[in-house]
Structure 1
């Protein structure tokens, strides 16, 4: 079977099942696991699937809007956000990355917290602009319209002279071998610099991001202080990340009243 025929069979299997495991595909198609991994990498490059720990899932819709993503996994994101902001001491400088989970952290920031916020997230800047104890600075650079995320050379140059105490960063994928990855090259570059110029580095990511691999590499797991995720994380993915030396904090679920 030629590679393209094999890859089409993988795509067909994904359309039926929604998720495939690499070892199952190797057995079914009569090829090595390494060959399947190369096929999955190529199909992800084309946007036809998303790599996850041990296999692949259907690729997310690229047209998904900010509002739609902000409305997904809300209990998980709010649990992560409430847990994360409890880690912040007053009078610190904190970097808030792009992404909807980071935005939830901004919304969860206590009204009596005092400190400085540096952010590449226009939604965060807008929300915290009236916070009485916060001095908020939006990175300069190129802004993506609906996302209001800032990236580019001007944003990156800020970190030439500036460091932060704590970085809250997002992720499109966190994988035991591939590390932290993102789906937007400019945002990945800003995220990488923020991590390199901070003393504590927390990845805020709901459990759907764990085990996944996205297109642009950010950093390896050793550069991360901890990942904060939700209680839906599966044991196999959690164990694989912990085995690589990553600290994973599982946020307790929020109540119905806390979601209101």
Structure 2
């Protein structure tokens, strides 16, 4: 595995165990103890854990990991979800994308669409508050990219705050794809950060169709701030590894589910 995959796996182990030992991590990840020590020191510098003699203990911030560590998680699932979501985008649509690893996969799928357009005419418009997604799409001639204002969060590259909401409030979206930190059939979609939840909520209210894209780990997760209730959602796209009993809860709540 590459370094980011190893760091992500290390943080997962720490999250599950609460504390970790260098030698045990070296055995679990099949690398040297020296490599683990360097990884732990790096993550401690990022304030994602606290170093102890011979290991580390978890910090609360480890539950809202920077995007660069999340990218190594469930990659194939997120790619499938991203392609399925991108297939819903038709020519001429205005598409909303919030930040996250799965919405980034949608952006990448849209970026390589073989759209034949007259000179100067985009195939579709993407509105996003995510700097990394804007960077992925800005050079694509078939995509018109609109970026909200706001203050950037280093964990997710999302722009939040009054400047972001001011722009979104003036727009109408055909479809918005919401990447979430958790989704519950009773209570709806959630984010770890209240500022991101606020911007995502506004994007949902400005869209004719709201689609949540979430790998199966998000269906049993918990997060701090609600984006919107289940009744405000039109479709959930998740992966085929999701528990059928959990999916049944969403369909019983009136939310169609598509697995890929």
Is the TM-score greater than 0.5? yes
> Moved runs in structure 1, 4+ residues, more than 4 A?
none
1:194-252: CA deviation from partner (whole Å, max 9, x where unpaired): 1111001111111100133311011111111101111110011111111111111111x
Give the distance between the partners of 1:243 and 1:171, measured in 2 at CA. 20
2:115 to 112, 116, 131: 112
* DSSP-derived class of the 2:125 partner: strand
Give the distance between the partners of 2:222 and 2:154, measured in 1 at CA. 25
Deviation at 1:94, TM superposition (A): 0.5
Q: How does 1:43-58 map to 2 (within 5 A)?
A: none
Q: 1:154 to 1:80 in 2, by over 3 A?
A: same
Q: How does 1:67-78 map to 2 (within 5 A)?
A: 67-78=68-79
Partner of 2:257: 248
Give the distance between the partners of 1:183 and 1:155, measured in 2 at CA. 18
Q: How does 1:35-184 map to 2 (within 5 A)?
A: 61-62=62-63, 64-109=65-110, 110-112=113-115, 114-184=123-193
* DSSP-derived class of the 1:161 partner: coil
**Is residue 96–residue 203 contact of structure 2 (8 Å, CA) maintained in 1?**
yes
Partner of 1:225: 234
* DSSP-derived class of the 2:91 partner: coil
Higher mean alpha-carbon deviation, 146-155 vs 101-110, is at: 146-155
**TM-score of the superposition, structure 1-length normalised?**
0.72
Partner of 2:210: 201
Q: Give 5+ residue unaligned stretches, structure 2.
A: 1-14, 18-59, 117-122
**Is residue 222–residue 246 contact of structure 1 (8 Å, CA) maintained in 2?**
yes
**Is residue 66–residue 154 contact of structure 2 (8 Å, CA) maintained in 1?**
no
**Is residue 202–residue 225 contact of structure 1 (8 Å, CA) maintained in 2?**
yes
**Is residue 180–residue 214 contact of structure 2 (8 Å, CA) maintained in 1?**
yes
**Is residue 111–residue 131 contact of structure 1 (8 Å, CA) maintained in 2?**
no
Q: 1:187 to 1:111 in 2, by over 3 A?
A: farther
* DSSP-derived class of the 1:245 partner: coil
Q: Give 5+ residue unaligned stretches, structure 1.
A: 1-13, 17-58, 252-260
1:99-140: CA deviation from partner (whole Å, max 9, x where unpaired): 110001100111417111110111110000111111101110
**TM-score of the superposition, structure 2-length normalised?**
0.72
Number of corresponding residues = 198
